[in-house]
Amino acid sequence: MKQNRLAGVTIFLLGLSATVMLTQSCNNDFTPKPRGYFRIALPQQKYVLLDSIYPYSFEYPAYAAITNDPLSPQEKNWINIEMPVFHGRIHISYKSLGEKQSLRTLTEDARTLVLKHMPKSSGIEQIVISDPARKVFGLVYEIRGMGAASPYQFYLTDSTRHFLRGALYFDVVPNNDSLAPVISFVQKDIQHLIETIQWK
């Protein structure tokens, strides 16, 4: 009997303590923390010159590798700048301007490919490229929005013979909030590519 009474008192005291603790903790203001993402280790930004059989040359990141485009083996001047550290790539396609390929058609095709991302984007910013000394003209498209599959695309041309288009892709489900540091990092590499491109 004494033990039952002692057990009852103990349970009562534990319940009372839990109630006091809960009421005390609820008096403080609670601010939820924003969702966090894993820290991404970024490599050093060094560059290597791509100068080989292609009708263009440029400097690309030393942490990347050049591969032929496996989806278009008939296109000898199409390459991927593979970035295994980020599980991504910059896809480069190239067309020679002439009777079969007009500049107007190719720029419109590039624009159409960008607009396909419109439903998932929160906005598209266009940056004009104009460097008459190197004969490099074009547009860069920054595609904003959490679900955009390709957050950065561009095309470059000399307006008479060469047309090169690039698009950044990642092999992950698009979540550009968590990829923001990587996208910002790779944008600098793409900017360097644009600043160093030369036509042959």
- Read off the amino acid at residue 75: E
Within 10 A of 86 (CB to CB), how many other CB atoms are there?
21
**Beta partners for residue 58, in sequence order:** 50
- Read off the amino acid at residue 188: K
Q: Are 164 and 93 in contact (CB under 8 A)?
A: yes
List helix spans (H) across 57-125. Answer: 103-115
Provide the pLDDT for residue 67: 96
CATH-assigned architecture of domain 47-199: 3-Layer(aba) Sandwich (3.40)
C-alpha span between 149 and 33 (Å, rounded): 28
The residue assigned the tokens 């939820």 is 32
- Which of 50, 40, 42, 53 is closest to 166 using CA atoms? 50
Provide the pLDDT for residue 131: 97
Provide the pLDDT for residue 91: 97
Q: What is the DSSP-derived secondary structure letter of residue 70?
A: T
C-alpha span between 150 and 140 (Å, rounded): 12
Helices and strands per DSSP (H, E), number in the chain: 3, 10
**Beta partners for residue 156, in sequence order:** 138, 164
Write out the chain's pLDDT in tens, 200 residues.
555 666 666 676 666 676 666 666 655 565 666 655 556 678 899 999 998 899 999 999 999 999 999 989 999 999 999 999 999 999 999 999 987 889 999 999 999 999 888 887 788 999 999 999 999 999 999 998 877 888 999 999 999 999 999 999 998 876 666 788 899 999 999 999 999 999 99
**What is the H or E stretch that residue 157 is in?**
strand 152-157
Distance of CA 20 to the CA centre of its chain: 50
Provide the pLDDT for residue 167: 97
Q: What torsion do the CA atoms of 168, 174, 176, 177 make, to the nearest 10 degrees?
A: -160
The pTM of the full predicted model, rounded to 2 decimals, is: 0.77
